[in-house]
Amino acid sequence: MKKLNFYSNLWRINVLLVVILGVLFAYIPSIQVEHLIKIEFSNSLSEFNDLVKNPVYFKNNTYYDFVFIIAYSFLFYYSLRVFESTLSLKLRPWFFIICFIPGVFDIVENLCGLYLVDLIGSDTSKNAFSIFSVFYWFVRLKWVFVIFFILMTLTISLYYLVLTMEKWVEILFFRKKVK
């Protein structure tokens, strides 16, 4: 139980951190990138180049994303820890390494994106097409893992919501009489 409380508190802190960083993404003008998801899932280098309207904002967003990667990687780690403790499981250490795979893929994606955005407007070389291919696949691989962890995090959030509601119902309707 002590372990669950410890990981639950760290999980809550990381949820709050991810939410704060997400809000900052939404409200800091210099890191807002139009059509970011379309850019990530662009099917060709020319589509990528056409969608990046402001390379400076794209770069700022990408640099800021490195901080977000750390936050969500630890959120995924603590989500798995809470899941393990709640269900009284004993997961092998390599399970926890999986929590950081989306972050590693996101780092590769960001590095490729930064390289590609520097080439916008210049002659595209064979190297740019190779880098775009890496970018293309790492975006998709990242999202395969991210979707799984988002679902796990939402499940844990729902679990804590139900626990909180249960406590409030107990407090409001089933008060214990003082002797």
User: What confidence tens digit (pLDDT) does each residue in 9-44 have?
Assistant: 999 999 999 999 999 988 999 999 999 999 999 999
Question: Does position 73 have pLDDT exceeding 90, yes or no?
Answer: yes
Q: pLDDT class for 179, splitting at 50, 70, 90?
A: low
**Which among 20, 24, 1, 10 is positioned nearest to 156, based on CA atoms?**
10
Is residue 8 situated within a structural domain?
A: yes
Q: How far is CA 30 from CA 22, 45, 74, 147, 159, in A?
A: 14, 24, 26, 27, 37
Is residue 178 situated within a structural domain?
A: no
pLDDT, position 88: 85
- Phi-psi region for residue 136, left (φ > 0), alpha (ψ -120 to 50) or beta? alpha
Q: Which domain holds residue 53?
A: 2-173
Residue 87, SS3 per DSSP: coil
Is residue 6 situated within a structural domain?
A: yes
Q: pLDDT class for 61, splitting at 50, 70, 90?
A: very high
Is residue 165 situated within a structural domain?
A: yes
Is residue 179 situated within a structural domain?
A: no
Number of domains in the chain: 1
Query: What pTM does this model have?
Result: 0.87
Helix, strand, coil tally for the chain in percent (to 5): 80, 0, 20
Residue type, 134: V
Is residue 44 situated within a structural domain?
A: yes
